[in-house]
């Protein structure tokens, strides 16, 4: 297979460019990412529909990755329980080297096939779950081993890759191929590939959780009350969604009920205004 992600940059002699030239050229490359994702939207839609079905049946979703893509998947996972009020363990990450060693940047672990199999066994990943492999190259041994395990065990699996016709995409039931082209710094897939991966994580998790009822209208009605900013935002949502116009009273009820959705239901049910 041709690794487009490893092709030479379209730009030469970066060290001779001014700051303005560098940021202009990087920005031009970044503009290509959304258009590359647009071409893959049908693939994204099929994967999301399958994830929704799995989660509705009580299964779990697993990101499986290494390097920049794997670390970005952890960022997506850790934000979802607070933003959407889902239980921890619904969306998970299997990261090369272990999520608990995220900051050590164990790049060598992307070649450790046994680590992938061990972590999948620890999580007891089954055919009731779904696994999404993440690999810019589409050839990462850690991810390949995990997806082979999925195929052997009848576990539904998808992938996000940035090269066409890769081994990982060939293994996946629901492949997403986003071809972003050569990187600004040759081979530095933390750049456009990483940007594409982050955009896809946002798209996938947000769409799935909207479909599962974690958003009403355009509001995070299940957001957890983790700080003063979120409490204030939640109170203002309550005031806009009910006939109640007393900020302090709305806040008091919110803190008892725990989230906007339960508070609004309580206020309407008890005809509080």
Does residue 38 carry a catalytic annotation?
no
The whole-angstrom distance between residue 99's C-alpha and the CA centroid of its chain comes to 15
Q: What angle do CA 62, 76, 98 make, to 5 degrees?
A: 55
219 neighbors 260 (Cβ within 8 angstroms): yes
Give the span between the Cα atoms of 53 and 51, in whole angstroms: 5
Give the span between the Cα atoms of 170 and 8, in whole angstroms: 25
- The residue whose two tokens read 């066409």 is 164
Which position among 29, 110, 177, 183 bears the catalytic label? 110
At 151 the three-state DSSP class reads: helix
At 18 the three-state DSSP class reads: coil
The whole-angstrom distance between residue 55's C-alpha and the CA centroid of its chain comes to 15
The CA–CA distances, whole Å, from 174 to 37, 48, 49, 273 equal 15, 9, 10, 49
Closest CA to 73 of 172, 174, 198: 198
Which position among 79, 104, 107, 108 bears the catalytic label? 79
Residues whose CB falls within 8 Å of the CB of residue 265, separated by 6 or more in sequence, listed in order: none
Closest CA to 37 of 246, 152, 198, 227: 198
Does residue 216 carry a catalytic annotation?
no
| Residues assigned a catalytic role | 79, 110
């Amino acid at each position: 297979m041709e690794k487009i992600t490893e092709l030479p940059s379209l730009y030469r002699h970066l060290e001779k460019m001014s700051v303005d030239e560098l940021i202009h050229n990087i920005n031009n490359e970044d503009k290509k990412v959304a258009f590359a994702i647009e071409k893959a939207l049908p693939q994204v839609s099929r994967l999301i529909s399958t994830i929704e079905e799995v989660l509705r049946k009580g299964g779990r979703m697993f990101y499986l990755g290494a390097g920049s893509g794997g670390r970005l998947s952890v960022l997506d996972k850790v934000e979802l329980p607070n933003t959407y009020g889902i239980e921890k363990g619904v969306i998970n990450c299997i990261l090369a080297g272990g999520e608990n060693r995220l900051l050590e940047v164990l790049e060598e672990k992307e070649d450790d096939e046994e680590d992938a199999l061990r972590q999948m066994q620890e999580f007891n990943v089954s055919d009731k779950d779904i696994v999404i492999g993440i690999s810019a190259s589409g050839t990462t041994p850690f991810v390949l081993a995990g997806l082979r395990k999925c195929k052997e065990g009848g576990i539904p699996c998808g992938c996000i890759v940035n090269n066409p016709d890769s081994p990982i995409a060939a293994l996946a039931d629901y492949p997403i191929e986003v071809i972003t082209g050569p990187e600004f710094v040759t081979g530095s897939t933390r750049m456009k590939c990483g940007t594409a991966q982050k955009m896809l994580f946002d798209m996938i998790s947000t769409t799935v959780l909207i479909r599962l009822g974690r958003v009403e209208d355009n509001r995070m009605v299940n957001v957890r009350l983790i700080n003063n900013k979120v409490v204030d935002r939640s109170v203002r949502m309550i005031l806009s969604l009910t006939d109640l116009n007393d900020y302090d009273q709305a806040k008091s009820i919110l803190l008892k009920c725990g989230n906007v959705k339960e508070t609004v239901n309580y206020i309407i049910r008890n005809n509080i205004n």
